[in-house]
Structure formats: structure tokens, C-alpha cells
């Protein structure tokens, strides 16, 4: 019996002050909740999403059996984050393109679609907006805040912005900031979008165009960095598409523009799919929020100093073949927390799937999260 | 006193049969030579180039002091490949854009510029065309054939296509074939070029356009894969451009389309430079030749079987932080050679620079090559 869910939306009229100095005067957040808030409101868990996910974390929509949430293997009845025990909240981040206010919406001040004029956001801005939604839901203190990748950065930022409002922070496949290489990949993806003639400086909505070429390239680059070299070799290797393989002796067709290798076919498919549903300005905003995240920056790059104000208990998880946010990056956070004598658990999972592993069904990984949340449930009386 | 050199060109009228089944009826090769061929013609060394290099391996052109060849630290008087002892030959590969016949040239059959109709080439085709140039120069047997990256693949292919014509094969930062991830990066770069509206299906010359947007993206992606994460962090880290740094407290400007980080500035500069001199069709051809190279393919992916016909002695060199062609890929070749009881030396250099290390001044690396070539010189009486 699948969990049937429905999205909700909340409107905020008090202006939100952003890190950039700008304000967002008026906005709405799309969100979903699963499970029930208990009487003493001690069992709420906030799930933060990464680049292309949304508030639809778990369950399916009525009459849409293929609409499972992006972390449905992690969150739900009897799942590691058990919605029979926890009240789980998923929120679509501001600036995203799945229901919360973003570049595709109308700027109430001008009456025009925001496009490239949507204010630049940071991880800290998202956390501030999430806190307001929790206020409205009557959730004062979270049993836990949890996320993977960019979602993990938001979870970490909760511990720094609202030290008293999250008892546990679970940051999976995350990092204390982006490396130069991480920024470099983001920048190439952004250039592909921005230099697409259909982008029109970010005001493509007015022109009735979509910079699909750029979005495709951006997604292809992203996909490469989500997968490990090993899993790509195991899944695709140097396999040719069947139509090519049967063509001749060597199998090659000798063409520079057509698909010959399976990996090419896979990447083009991912790029095409993504370019049909994702907003180009959102892509720029979210990758920039990734670039900017750097809680140690204000402390002379001293991560230990940055985490001095954290009060939560932490679970960090990393994956051996994740070369986007390798285990060494999680260990930096673990070290900073230990140097502050914080309570921290750390699981380094030996998994072949690269960064994507945080979304997959690795038994060790899911067991580690389940065990940790069992402990939280005990504390929370959930 | 710098080595002053000048490029030469040789015209070939006998058709060249290509792996694809096509023929190149008529073509020329640009080349340079350094040093003197000795009386018994035993001291010739062929240098093969990688993606964006050329026949201009060493020395400078008269009155152009900044025109040093791409491997000038390796090849020249008193250098590891010592042109006082060896007769060194550099050849611009067919299909390239630095003087040899390529997509920018006119197809004698149609009178039109080739563009996308230029025949698709393989590493084996390049080696065959190089062999013809050596024939014309009176070089029967090479003392050595040497290259890095894709150049290393050509050197390896010499051992397989002309087992009696190269006494030594020096393959640096190379691989027995591309991994799925390698192909994936090539494919993204190609898609960026092919989907640039200025590409016109590869016939952009007729339209007076150049797909610079695509070339920029392709080069930016390439650059990321040439550098190690470590060296990027050491060189750029999360540094902001000076103009940004001085702007405010956090230093961020909060923009999605402008340059803020040094790494962004560096990559854009590399992309811009490249897009001004490199031909888009050449980029497609050369990356496809990389994709196709796989000498084990005809042997059921058994690299040992593929190298059974090799007769040369080998030097393989790899670099610890090269994640494009990691040491493990060179070790596959070493293993295949040892299983055939071939004479093979292997140096795994602990260098921070990633794939680019093969072009740089690492003392251990240069010493290893120098020592190896001293041995060759002894054999060759050079």
C-alpha cells in the first residue's frame, strides 16, 4: 500500500532579507508532509533537497503510480526515516521550479516574469525561508534536519543558523564548501546555458524560447560528475549501441556527430529529459548557491571556528567512490565537529556508485541511517 | 641560443585507405625536423601529438621568440630527447588544423571545403600516414616513437602496425583505450560544438561563422580533465578575483552570470583563446579518434593478445594525479607487455599536476625520459 501524498503551498507576505542585501517581498513555498506531528511536537524531520529535486520527497500522488518521491527509498512507513514515527517535511527551495516562487514567476513589483532578475540566493537564505515555514507549521525544534549533497549543506547550515532548532543534523555526501574543480564544473554548465542564443540574458520566457541546448550540456556534465568511473565502466563500458554493433566488423560507424557508444546514448537521453522540465535560471541560481556555500569563510577559512556555535548531534555519511564530494570532504566536517567536542557519528560507505549513491539502495547506507533515526525516535518519544 | 626551426610540408598523391573504408585521395602533411639523420639512419625519433598540438614540437620560428614548440622542454639540444644526437620529426596529424590536410581544406573531388565531409580518422590512419612521411624522408626504422596522451596511443599503435619499424616506443600518460567516463567527456564537448547554431552541421565555413560558443565549452571541459583537483585547489582554490574580493564584506557579488571566482576567470580565458584558433571539425575528428582507439577490440578485449605482435622495447610513464588516464591504465599496458615477455620500463611519477604533467617540468619525469633516451642513443650509436 503506497503512501499517497499531496503537495501543499504556503504564502509568505513578510519580506525575506537575503544574504545579497536584496529582499524577496512576497513568496510562496511548495511543501509536503508525511506522518503526524506528535503531541509535544518533538518528532519533526525536515528533508532538504539538492539541485534538481523538490518537496516531493516520498510517496506517490493519487492515480499517478509512477510519481514516487525522490527519496522514497529513505522516507516512508517502515523506511529508515519512518513516517509512522516521524512527521517529515519536504520543502521546494525558493528559486527552484517545482512550485515555490522562482524565476518563472511574476515579480509583484514590476508585474513582469522575474527571469534573470530573480534575486540570487544562498544556502543560508533557503534555511531562513524553511524556518519560517516550520514556524507556520508549529514546529519549534526539529528532531532532525537531513539532506544529501546540496541538501546536506542546508542541514549543516541549520546547525549554524538555528543552533537550538535542530537536535540532529544528518548530512550525506556533502562538503563544507566546493573545491575549485566543483566550481569549475558548475561554471562550464552555466556558460553552456548563458551562451545558448535562446537564453536571451535570462529573459527567454518573453521570447517564447527555452535554452534547451545549454540545459542539455549542463545536465550531461552534471551526470558525469554524479557517477563514478567504475560504475560507468560497469554499466556502459565501451559498449556500442546495438544498431551500431551489428553494422560491421569493427562495429564502429565512423561518424563524429551520431551516437555510437551506449554512454553517449545515455547522456543524451538524460540531457534531453532534463531540458524539458528544468528551468535555466533555476539552474544558475542553485549552482551559484553551491559555489557560495562556505561557512568557514567568515572565520578565515577555519571550519572548526565556524562550527563552534553548533549544538546539534551529527551524522555524516560519505561514499568511497564519490569524486564530487569525496569522503575527505566529510572528514573535514567530522574533524571540525570533534575539535568542538560535538557528538558526531560518521559512516564512510564502500559503494561503487559515486555521488549518486546517496539516492540509491545501498544496504549498509540505509541501515546506518535507520539505526541513527531509531536512536532519534527513542529520544523524541516517537 | 634557441633552436630556430621552420615548418615544412610534403604532398602525397597516392590515396590513403582509411579504417572507415573511405580513401583520402590527395593530402599534405606539415612537419618539422630537428637535428641530423646519421649515416646509418638509426637515430630518428618520431614525436606524435595529442589533441591540440602540432608538428611544432621544439624550437622557435625565426623572429618569433614566443613561438616555442609544445614539447620544447623535452626535445632540443641537450634536452631529454637530445637533438644533438637524434634526428627528431614532428608531424601535424591529418585532420588537424595546423597545416596538414583537414576539414578547413578543399576537397579536390568536389572543389568545396570539406567541413563535416572530411573522412573520419583513426589513430591507425595517422600512423599509416606518418609511415609514408618517414618513407619519403628515408627513415626505415625509428630509434623511437614517442608521445603523450593521444600521442602515446599513436606510439603504441606504431608497435602494432609496424612492429619492425620502431625499436623503442615511449608512451606517456596514455591508455589502452578510453573509459566510459573519458568518452562521456568527449561526447559532452562534441555536443556543445554540434548544437552551437553557428556550427551549421559542420559546414560553418560556407556561412562565414565559427561555433565559438561550443568550442569554448569544449575547451573548458577539457581543461578541467587535464588538471588534478589538488593543483586546481592550490592554484585557484576558492579565491575570488581581486575586483570582486574588494567589493564588500563577504566578497561575493551575488551574480549568476558574471565571473567571481578565479577558476572561472581562468577557464573562460582558456575557452576564449582556444575558440580563436582551433577548428571545430578537427575537435570532433580528434576526440572521435580517441574514442575509437582500442587495439584489444579485435582480440575480444584481450590486450595481451593484441600486443603479441609488438617487437619494440617500451617505456611507459604515468602520473599519480592524472585522473584522465590514471596510472592503472598504463599498468594495463605494462602487464600486457610483460605477459608477452616484452622489454618494458615503467615510471609512475608522483606529480601533483594531473594529466597536464606530461607537458611540464617535473625533474623526476624528465630524468626518467633522459636516462631512457641515453640508452637508446648508445644502441643507435647516436
Query: Which residues, 6 or more positions from A209, have their beta carbon under 8 angstroms from its beta carbon?
Result: A198, A200
Q: What is the DSSP string of A326-351?
A: -HHHHHHHHHHHHHTT--EEEEEE--
Which residues of chain A are within 8 Å of residue B288 when distances are taken between CB atoms? 254-256
Q: Does the beta carbon of A258 lie under 8 angstroms from any beta carbon of chain B?
A: no
Q: Does the beta carbon of A250 lie under 8 angstroms from any beta carbon of chain B?
A: yes
| Cell numbers describing residue A374 | 531509531
pLDDT of residue A243 exceeding 80, the answer is no
Q: How many CB atoms lie within 10 A of CB A59?
A: 23
- Residue range A177-187: average pLDDT? 98
pLDDT value for A249: 56
- Residue range B214-230: average pLDDT? 97
Q: Report the predicted TM-score, pTM, of the whole model to 2 decimal places.
A: 0.96
What are the tens digits of pLDDT across the range A59-74?
999 999 999 999 999 9
CA–CA dist B34, B84 (Å, integer): 9
For residue A271, the chain B residue with the least C-alpha distance is B188
Q: What is the DSSP letter of B164?
A: T
Nearest to B216 by CA among A239, A188, A160: A188
| Cell numbers describing residue A330 | 566529510
pLDDT of residue B249 exceeding 60, the answer is no
CA distances from A262 to A48, A242, A317, B186 (A): 33, 9, 31, 13
Nearest to A174 by CA among A337, A308, A30: A337
pLDDT of residue A248 exceeding 90, the answer is no
Please give the ipTM for the structure prediction.
0.95
Q: What is the DSSP letter of B359?
A: G
Which residues of chain B are within 8 Å of residue A116 when distances are taken between CB atoms? 256-257
The highest-confidence range among B170-174, B251-255, B376-380, by mean pLDDT, is: B170-174
In a 3-state reduction of DSSP, which class is residue A166? strand
What are the tens digits of pLDDT across the range A13-48?
999 999 999 999 899 999 999 999 999 999 999 999
CA–CA dist B255, B128 (Å, integer): 52
Q: Does the beta carbon of B195 lie under 8 angstroms from any beta carbon of chain A?
A: yes
- Residue range A129-152: average pLDDT? 98
Rg over CA atoms, chain A: 21
Given pLDDT bands bounded at 50, 70 and 90, which one contains residue A125? very high
Closest CA–CA distance from residue B166 to any residue of chain A (Å) = 26
Q: What interhelical angle do B123-137 and B280-292 show, nearest 10?
A: 100
pLDDT value for A380: 77
- Residue range B200-221: average pLDDT? 97
Query: Which residues, 6 or more positions from B215, have their beta carbon under 8 angstroms from its beta carbon?
Result: B193, B196, B271, B274, B275, B278, B280, B283
What are the tens digits of pLDDT across the range B45-99?
999 999 999 999 999 999 999 999 999 999 999 999 999 999 999 999 999 999 9
Which residues of chain B are within 8 Å of residue A232 when distances are taken between CB atoms? 179-181, 184
The answer to whether B157 and A213 have CB atoms below 8 angstroms apart is no
| Cell numbers describing residue A88 | 517529515
Phi, psi at B31, each rounded to 5°: -155, 165
pLDDT value for B251: 83
The answer to whether B310 and B159 have CB atoms below 8 angstroms apart is yes
Q: What is the DSSP letter of A99?
A: S
- Residue range A249-260: average pLDDT? 87
Q: What is the DSSP letter of A85?
A: T
CA–CA dist A304, B115 (Å, integer): 57
Percent of chain B with pLDDT over 90: 95
Which residue of A238, A262, A294 is the best one to mutate when testing the B interface, meaning the one whose CB has the most B CBs within 10 A?
A238
| Cell numbers describing residue A274 | 532534463
Q: Indicate the residue of B179, B227, B255 with minimum beta-carbon distance to A120.
A: B255
pLDDT of residue A115 exceeding 70, the answer is yes
CA–CA dist B92, B57 (Å, integer): 10
The answer to whether B223 and A187 have CB atoms below 8 angstroms apart is no
Q: Indicate the residue of B224, B288, B298 with minimum beta-carbon distance to A184.
A: B224
Catalytic residue among B42, B149, B157, B228: B149
What is the Cα B320 distance to its own chain's centre?
Answer: 19
- Average pLDDT over chain B reads 96
CA distances from A311 to A167, A342, A343, B248 (A): 8, 7, 9, 30
**Bridge partner residues of A75 (DSSP):** A81
Rg over CA atoms, chain B: 21
Which residues of chain A are within 8 Å of residue B325 when distances are taken between CB atoms? none
Look-up: residue for cell 513555498?
A: A29
pLDDT value for B380: 77
Counting every residue written for chain B, the total comes to: 382
CB contact (8 A) between residue A180 and residue B229: yes
Given pLDDT bands bounded at 50, 70 and 90, which one contains residue A4? very high
- Average pLDDT over chain A reads 96
CA–CA dist A329, A350 (Å, integer): 15
**Bridge partner residues of A33 (DSSP):** A89
pLDDT value for A161: 98
CB contact (8 A) between residue A238 and residue B185: no
Q: Does the beta carbon of A220 lie under 8 angstroms from any beta carbon of chain B?
A: yes
The answer to whether A184 and B159 have CB atoms below 8 angstroms apart is no
CA–CA dist A56, A72 (Å, integer): 9
Angle, alpha carbons A187-A188-A191 (nearest 5°) = 85
Given pLDDT bands bounded at 50, 70 and 90, which one contains residue B327? very high
CB contact (8 A) between residue B263 and residue A298: no
Catalytic, B355? Answer yes
Given pLDDT bands bounded at 50, 70 and 90, which one contains residue A245? low
In a 3-state reduction of DSSP, which class is residue A233? helix
Give the torsion sign (CA, A161, A163, A169, A174).
positive
CB contact (8 A) between residue B224 and residue A188: yes
Q: Indicate the residue of B20, B224, B260 with minimum beta-carbon distance to A181.
A: B224
pLDDT value for A251: 83
The answer to whether B89 and B33 have CB atoms below 8 angstroms apart is yes
Nearest to A19 by CA among A88, A122, A96, A89: A122
CB contact (8 A) between residue A184 and residue B267: yes
Amino acid at each position: 500500500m503506497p503512501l499517497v501524498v499531496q503537495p501543499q503551498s504556503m504564502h509568505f507576505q513578510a519580506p525575506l532579507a537575503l544574504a545579497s542585501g536584496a529582499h524577496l517581498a512576497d513568496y510562496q513555498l511548495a511543501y509536503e508532509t508525511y506522518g503526524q506531528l506528535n503531541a509535544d511536537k518533538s518528532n519533526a524531520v525536515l528533508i532538504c533537497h539538492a539541485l534538481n529535486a523538490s518537496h516531493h520527497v516520498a510517496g506517490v500522488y493519487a492515480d499517478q503510480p509512477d510519481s514516487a518521491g525522490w527519496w522514497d527509498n529513505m522516507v516512508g512507513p517502515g523506511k529508515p526515516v519512518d513516517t509512522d514515527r516521524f512527521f517529515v517535511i519536504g520543502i521546494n527551495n525558493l528559486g527552484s521550479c517545482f512550485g515555490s516562487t522562482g524565476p518563472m514567476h511574476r515579480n509583484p513589483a514590476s508585474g513582469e516574469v522575474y527571469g534573470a532578475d530573480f534575486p540570487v540566493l544562498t544556502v543560508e537564505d533557503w534555511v531562513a525561508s524553511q524556518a519560517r515555514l516550520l514556524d507556520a507549521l508549529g514546529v519549534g525544534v526539529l528532531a532532525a534536519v537531513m539532506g544529501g549533497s546540496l541538501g546536506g549543506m542546508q542541514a549543516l547550515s541549520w546547525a549554524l543558523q538555528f543552533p537550538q532548532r535542530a537536535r540532529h543534523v544528518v548530512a550525506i555526501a556533502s562538503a563544507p564548501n566546493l573545491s575549485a574543480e566543483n566550481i569549475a564544473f558548475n561554471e562550464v554548465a552555466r556558460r553552456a546555458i548563458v551562451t545558448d542564443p535562446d537564453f536571451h540574458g535570462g529573459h527567454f520566457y518573453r521570447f517564447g524560447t527555452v535554452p534547451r541546448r545549454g540545459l542539455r550540456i549542463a545536465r550531461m556534465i552534471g551526470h558525469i560528475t554524479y557517477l563514478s568511473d567504475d560504475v560507468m565502466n560497469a554499466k556502459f563500458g565501451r559498449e556500442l549501441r546495438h544498431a551500431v554493433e551489428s553494422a560491421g566488423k569493427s562495429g564502429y560507424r565512423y561518424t563524429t556527430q551520431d551516437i555510437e557508444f551506449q554512454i553517449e546514448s545515455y547522456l543524451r537521453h538524460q540531457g534531453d529529459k532534463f531540458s524539458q522540465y528544468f528551468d535555466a535560471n533555476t539552474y544558475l541560481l542553485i549552482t551559484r548557491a553551491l559555489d557560495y556555500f562556505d561557512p568557514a569563510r567568515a572565520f578565515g577559512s577555519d571550519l572548526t571556528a565556524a562550527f563552534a556555535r553548533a549544538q546539534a548531534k551529527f551524522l555524516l555519511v560519505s561514499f568511497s567512490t564519490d569524486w564530487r564530494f569525496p569522503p575527505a570532504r566529510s572528514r573535514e566536517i567530522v574533524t571540525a565537529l570533534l575539535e568542538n567536542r560535538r557528538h558526531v557519528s560518521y559512516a564512510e560507505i564502500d559503494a561503487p556508485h559515486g555521488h549518486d549513491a546517496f539516492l540509491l539502495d545501498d544496504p549498509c547506507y540505509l541501515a546506518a541511517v535507520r539505526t541513527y533515526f531509531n536512536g532519534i525516535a527513542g529520544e523524541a518519544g516517537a
